[in-house]
Structures are given as structure tokens and as C-alpha cells.
């Protein structure tokens, strides 16, 4: 049975879970097994019902400890509180389905695209060097403080499609990058520190 049950809203989060597992050694996390459930109701579904899925998939009658983690975007989750308060609420519900303290909720502010694209260099790395993309990135670089880079990613994707260029895959990009550089982000650091506490490196 899996050590950790992850409940996530979409394929980019599934890719993040997979990438963390594949890079566990470099992130100083010990070995663990996992399963992933993608909630078709997206971020709001995970926030409201992660505990229900975890309860249904918990292995009863086993001596092996089991853990549960819910991940979702703050934007789109329907939670108007601070991300930390959203996390507290979900974790409380997870504890009630007998995972005890073996639970965590990661609420990414504002969304996973902003975590992935924290700067223009990472955005460029994902999107490539075609003319349309380079023009958009050049315009962004000339701004003193580029707005929401997750939103810019989607904007450039639409521009690429208008030019007949194939969209770039966010899940594939997530699985291809070194995640150590993401530890400055609060939500990602919480995810990694939680897994380190549960599964110390051998």
C-alpha cells in the first residue's frame, strides 16, 4: 500500500508530486511510496473533499503508518482566507478521518503557475525561443515588475496557438527542472519539509 495519499486538482500538480518523488534524494527526503488522486472538481474540490477521498482510500487494519497530503491553488479554491488558514481547515478535516497528525495541506498562492514561473528565465526555459515567444518575453523584460507570470504563461500560450505553434506542456516542464531552486517558496518548502519529517533520508 502507498505510504502517502496525494489529492490534487490537475495534471501539473500530479507532475509536481512525481517530480518531487523522483528528486527525493537531492531534496533530502527518504524513500516512500505514493498514490495520486486527481479531483475532477479542481481546486475547490480538493479543498472541500480531500478528506473524503483520503478516508475512502485509507488502508484499514494495517500496522503501516499512512499519510495524506492535499495540494491546490489558492486562486480558484473558493477560500477567501489566507492560504495558511485554508490549510488549517483542510488539515483539520483530514485528521478527523483517523490520519491523526500524519496530514498536510499545501495551498499555493496564488497558483501553481506562479510557483513554477517565479522569474522570466524560467518562463523562457519552458516556452522556447520561437519569434512570437521571444517578442512577448522581451516586452515583459522591459517592465519594471512583470505582472503575474502564470497569467503571462497562458497569454503567451494563446499567442503561440494563434501562430499555429504547439502549446508547451507545463507538466513536462515541471518534471524536467531541478526543484532545489523552488525552496524559497513558502508552499513548496512546506511540502518538502513535511516529507523530510515523515521520511528522513537514510
- Top-tier CATH class for 4-113+174-198: alpha beta
pLDDT in tens, 42-75: 999 999 999 999 988 886 655 668 999 999 999 9
CA 73 to chain centre: 8
50 within 8 A of 94, measured Cβ to Cβ: yes
The candidate with the shortest Cα–Cα distance to 195, out of 7, 50, 8, 68, is 68
Q: Where are the domains of the chain?
A: 4-113+174-198, 116-169
Residues 6+ apart with CB under 8 A from 63: none
Owner of C-alpha cell 504563461: 153
Handedness of CA 84, 85, 89, 92 (dihedral sign): positive
What's this model's pTM, rounded to 2 decimal places? Answer: 0.86
**Does position 132 have pLDDT exceeding 70, yes or no?**
no
Helices (H) and strands (E) in the chain, counts: 9, 4
The helix-helix angle for 120-127 and 149-162 (nearest 10°) equals 30
Amino acid at each position: 500500500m502507498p505510504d502517502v495519499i496525494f489529492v490534487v486538482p490537475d495534471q501539473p500538480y500530479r507532475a509536481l508530486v512525481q517530480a518531487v518523488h523522483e528528486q527525493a534524494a537531492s531534496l533530502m527526503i527518504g524513500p516512500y511510496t505514493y498514490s495520486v488522486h486527481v479531483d475532477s472538481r479542481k481546486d475547490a474540490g480538493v479543498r472541500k473533499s480531500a478528506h473524503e477521498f483520503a478516508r475512502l482510500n485509507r488502508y484499514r487494519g494495517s500496522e503501516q503508518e499512512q499519510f495524506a497530503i492535499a495540494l491546490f491553488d489558492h486562486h480558484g479554491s473558493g477560500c477567501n482566507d489566507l492560504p495558511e488558514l485554508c490549510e488549517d481547515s483542510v488539515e483539520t478535516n483530514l485528521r478527523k478521518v483517523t490520519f491523526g497528525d500524519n496530514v498536510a495541506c499545501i495551498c499555493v498562492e496564488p497558483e501553481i503557475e506562479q510557483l513554477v514561473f517565479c522569474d522570466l528565465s524560467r518562463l523562457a526555459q519552458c516556452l522556447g525561443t520561437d519569434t512570437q515567444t521571444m517578442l512577448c518575453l522581451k516586452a515583459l523584460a522591459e517592465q519594471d515588475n512583470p505582472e503575474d507570470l502564470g497569467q503571462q504563461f497562458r497569454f503567451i500560450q494563446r499567442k503561440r496557438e494563434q501562430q499555429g505553434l504547439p502549446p508547451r506542456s507545463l507538466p513536462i516542464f515541471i518534471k524536467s527542472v531541478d526543484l532545489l531552486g523552488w525552496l524559497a517558496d513558502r508552499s513548496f518548502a512546506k511540502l518538502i519539509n513535511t516529507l523530510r519529517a515523515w521520511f528522513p533520508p537514510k
